[in-house]
């Protein structure tokens, strides 16, 4: 009888201990987050997680950035955390998770829409009309892609290309936006016409900053996977087919 009572008491104690442990972990995470924000007030912390390394915490920040800190935030570690046994980068996997963009969250009406073939696959591109890499993407690997609906978000990086905002406005204000965009990016046809219509450029800029987009071209596939830079045709096909 006593043994039964002891077992029951022990069984009741285990969940309590687990709860205390969980609460202790949560308190530690909250403390690390508070300390980090105090020391780095210009960074927006999305979350703090424990890592497999004792005493080391993962800090997730806006812009899909990941760093590691000790409990007192006396040290910050920047770089890949790689599991030796598997050779996999914990950091790379986490950055990929943070970079996911829910497709339904994209304001597609603010983009220039192009349907190729059956248009079944989906791709959004944040691009700058004066970005040489954007032009390379448009004229190269992207030109060979079919059966896709492309949503082009005009995202002029004015600190790099001072005239890009003017050109982006001209493209958006054109009677046929897709034609104006294609003629300029593919054929080098000079832009003309008004640039004083209502545009979504400010909204797109705010969205880009929220998503941590700081360069062009940046691509978002239908499954929410975000990739920065020029991709080869096979990489584009792979991303589109993964949806």
Q: What pLDDT digit, counting tens, does each position of 186-214 carry?
A: 998 989 888 999 999 999 999 998 888 88
Find the distance separating the first CA and the last CA of the chain, reported in whole Å.
60
DSSP 53: S
Alpha carbon distance 224, 203 (integer Å): 19
Most confident of 16-20, 32-36, 99-103: 32-36
The class of domain 103-241 in CATH terms is alpha beta
Do the Cβ atoms of 146 and 241 come closer than 8 Å?
no
Give 54-100 pLDDT, tens digit per residue. 999 999 987 778 999 999 999 999 999 999 999 999 988 888 888 78
Proportion of the chain in helix, strand, coil states, percent, rounded to 5: 45, 20, 35
CATH 3.40.30.10: which residues of the chain?
Answer: 103-241
Please compute Rg for the chain using Cα positions: 24
* Mean pLDDT for all residues in the chain: 89
**Residue listed under structure tokens 């040489």:** 132
pLDDT for residue 20: 47
Give 138-182 pLDDT, tens digit per residue. 999 999 999 999 999 999 999 899 999 999 999 999 999 999 999
Helix (H) and strand (E) counts in the chain: 7, 9
- Measured over the CA atoms of residue 101, residue 102, residue 103 and residue 104, the dihedral's sign is negative
Pairing of strands 56-61, 45-50: antiparallel
* Residue 50: strand pairing partners: 57
Alpha carbon distance 236, 21 (integer Å): 46
The class of domain 2-98 in CATH terms is alpha beta
CB within 8 Å of 84: residues ≥ 6 apart: none
Alpha carbon distance 106, 102 (integer Å): 7
Mean pLDDT of 19-42: 80
CATH 3.10.450.70: which residues of the chain?
Answer: 2-98
pLDDT for residue 56: 94
């Amino acid at each position: 009888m006593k043994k039964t009572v002891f077992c029951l008491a022990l069984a009741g104690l285990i969940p309590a201990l687990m709860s205390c442990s969980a609460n202790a972990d949560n308190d530690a995470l909250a403390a690390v987050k508070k300390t980090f924000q105090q020391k780095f007030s210009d960074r927006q912390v999305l979350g703090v997680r424990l890592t497999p390394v004792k005493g080391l915490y993962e800090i997730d920040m806006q812009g899909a950035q990941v760093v590691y800190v000790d409990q007192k935030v006396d040290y910050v570690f920047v770089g890949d955390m790689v599991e030796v046994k598997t050779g996999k980068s914990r950091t790379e996997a986490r950055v990929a998770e943070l970079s996911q963009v829910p497709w339904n969250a994209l304001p597609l009406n603010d983009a220039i829409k192009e349907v190729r073939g059956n248009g079944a696959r989906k791709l959004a591109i944040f691009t700058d009309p004066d970005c040489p890499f954007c032009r390379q993407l448009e004229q190269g690997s992207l030109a060979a892609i079919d059966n896709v609906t492309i949503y082009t978000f005009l995202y002029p990086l004015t600190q790099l290309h001072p005239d890009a905002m003017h050109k982006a406005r001209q493209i958006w204000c054109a009677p046929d936006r897709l034609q104006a965009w294609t003629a300029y990016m593919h054929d080098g046809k000079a832009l003309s016409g008004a640039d004083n219509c209502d545009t979504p450029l400010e909204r797109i800029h705010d969205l880009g900053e929220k998503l941590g987009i700081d360069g062009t071209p940046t691509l978002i596939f239908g499954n929410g996977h975000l990739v920065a830079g020029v991709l080869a045709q096979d990489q584009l096909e792979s991303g589109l087919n993964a949806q």
